Structures are given as C-alpha cells and as structure tokens.
Amino acid sequence: MPRSSKPKNHLVGLGLDNGDGHTRITRGDNFSLLGGSETTHDKMQETCIKVNEKMRQRGKTLETVSRQELTDLFRELT
C-alpha cells in the first residue's frame, strides 16, 4: 500500500511511573500511549480523548490546529 506524501500528525504519551509490571499500550484516534501506572495511563487516555473532542467541536484536526491552541487545550484539561 503506497504511503501518503504528507505525514499525519500523531500525539504520543509516555508514562514512566509504572511499578506493577503491567505493560499498558493504548492506541486511539491520532494518539498512542505507552506505559505508566494505571492511574497515569488512564489520565493520559482521558486527556487525549478530551483534546480530540474539543478539537472536533472547534472544527479542527491535529493537522489544522495551531501549536498554541493545542498547548492551550492540554493546559485547560490537565
């Protein structure tokens, strides 16, 4: 399958506080999350889902949202 010429933007979350031996990996619409404790991983997942919802409400995507607007969304939700 040929690759598109323009790369798609993607959020990546990395949790470093895992002490229980579980490997947590979650993929969603334009995001991938790896690691973290159960609490941290759940928070990362919830935040990414809410950021996607807010962008949809504004008619934006990761390709069209400005860096500042995306930063503001994350600050608002954390």
pTM > 0.85: yes or no? no
Name the percent of the chain lying above pLDDT 70.
91
Q: What is the tens place of the pLDDT at every residue in 3-37?
A: 666 678 999 999 999 888 899 999 998 999 999 99
C-alpha pair distances (Å), 21 with each of 14, 17, 36, 62 = 15, 11, 10, 33
C-alpha pair distances (Å), 75 with each of 16, 22, 78 = 20, 28, 5
